[in-house]
Amino acid sequence: MARKFFVGGNFKMNGTIQGIKDIVHRLNDAKLDGTTEVVIAPPALYLLLTREHLNPEIEVAAQNVFDKANGAFTGEISASQLKDSNITWALTGHSERRTVLCEKDEFVARKTKAALDEGLGVILCIGETLQERESNETINVVTRQLNAVAENTKDWSKIVIAYEPVWAIGTGKVASTEQAQEVHASIREWLGKTISSEAAENTRIIYGGSVTDQNCRDLAKQADIDGFLVGGASLKPAFIDIINAKL
């Protein structure tokens, strides 16, 4: 069975009430590829607003989730609270949280497990820095990040892996189709060896890193690229073209 194409939009710390409504209405009115799963991740403040106004066929993700169910954790949001609010996905491990907020692999793994335990889908972000790529450490870095999650989680049916080379996020640089496909194939090989052949066959591995309406179609043709996690372009009308990359 073919893996369903997946496109996520990570708004990051961008948007206003009116701006979010405009994006939502644009998505609601657009003719979207019905064979592509679409999930958007607005800032936490706008999660309920987005869910209220968005077409129910498009899902909503939190940009972050905590690893505890409740308690004295100021500023955090639990998986159970997201589920209670009909927010069905969460991002974990984004490079900005790993680098700016110093989140370690083990913490990302615990957050991923907490979300999965509540029945949420998880977009698990992994990727290497420019220095790590130039040192030929790409595969070692992404498998280290994946191994941390594998120690806690054996069921990967609700995980979408987002490979995001850090050097290509928001820089305008993009990995070539060959570079992206090579890493995606290595991740799928890791899934087969570490999790199961079923996980290797069924887990979607999406690409993030300056994806645009100009490069998305070539990337989408690669055998192991099952979609995209889009940053800045998800705020623009071009996001529609990226969602429809397979048409």
What are the residue numbers of the active site?
Answer: 94, 164
For residue 160, the cross-strand partners are: 123, 204
Beta-sheet pairing, 59-62 with 227-230: unpaired
**Residue 60 is which amino acid?**
V
Over its C-alpha atoms, the chain yields an Rg (Å, rounded) of 17
Do 168 and 210 meet the contact criterion of CB atoms below 8 Å apart?
Answer: yes
Using CA atoms, how far residue 194 sits from 2, 34, 77, 110, 142, in Å, is 21, 32, 31, 18, 13
For residue 95, give both structure tokens. Answer: 């490079």
Provide DSSP, 48-92. Answer: HHHHHHS-TTSEEEES---SSSSSS-TT---HHHHHHTT--EEEE
Provide DSSP, 128-166. Answer: --HHHHHTT-HHHHHHHHHHHHHTT----TTEEEEE--G
Dihedral of alpha carbons 128, 129, 132, 134, sign: positive
For residue 209, give both structure tokens. Answer: 């890193």
With CA atoms as reference, report the closest residue to 124 among 99, 100, 101, 147. 147
